[in-house]
Amino acid sequence: MARGTAHIGKDRYRTQIEVGGHVLAADEPAALGGQGAGPAPYDLLLASLGACTAITLRMYADRKEWPLESLDVALRLTGGEERRIERTLTIVGLDEAQKARLAEVAERTPVTLTLKQGLPIDTKLG
């Protein structure tokens, strides 16, 4: 399964992330004391959901041999105590029935299901 690491030093909130053989930077915006050197943690969460949604729907359309030209996934995290994610799909090249089917499939992508069901996190000292 997936593995990753995150390292933070003395650079305020800039964090180096290594995952899947890729190096990324995360940070908080200046308004929260960071330098904006990378996406904030919730931005990365939305990016993960957006990528999983787009990839899964592309795979589904390809398998069905549907003429999907493009797919945009817009995401917005809302709320304070009761957070929720609003996801809007903009689909080009398909008829209304195919678009509706992709919207149904979006509700069952791996990252969508993980977020909806929750995931236990076990923390230990190394």
pTM of the shown model: 0.93
- Start-to-end Cα distance in the chain: 20
* Cα 38 from Cα 32, distance rounded (Å): 13
Q: Write out pLDDT tens, residues 89-107.
A: 999 999 999 999 999 999 9
* Cα 107 from Cα 12, distance rounded (Å): 37
Q: Write out pLDDT tens, residues 10-67.
A: 989 999 999 999 999 999 999 999 999 999 999 999 999 999 999 999 999 999 999 9
List, in order, residues 6 or more apart from 19 with CB less than 8 Å away: 2, 3, 4, 5
Looking at the DSSP assignment, which residues form a beta bridge with residue 3?
A: none
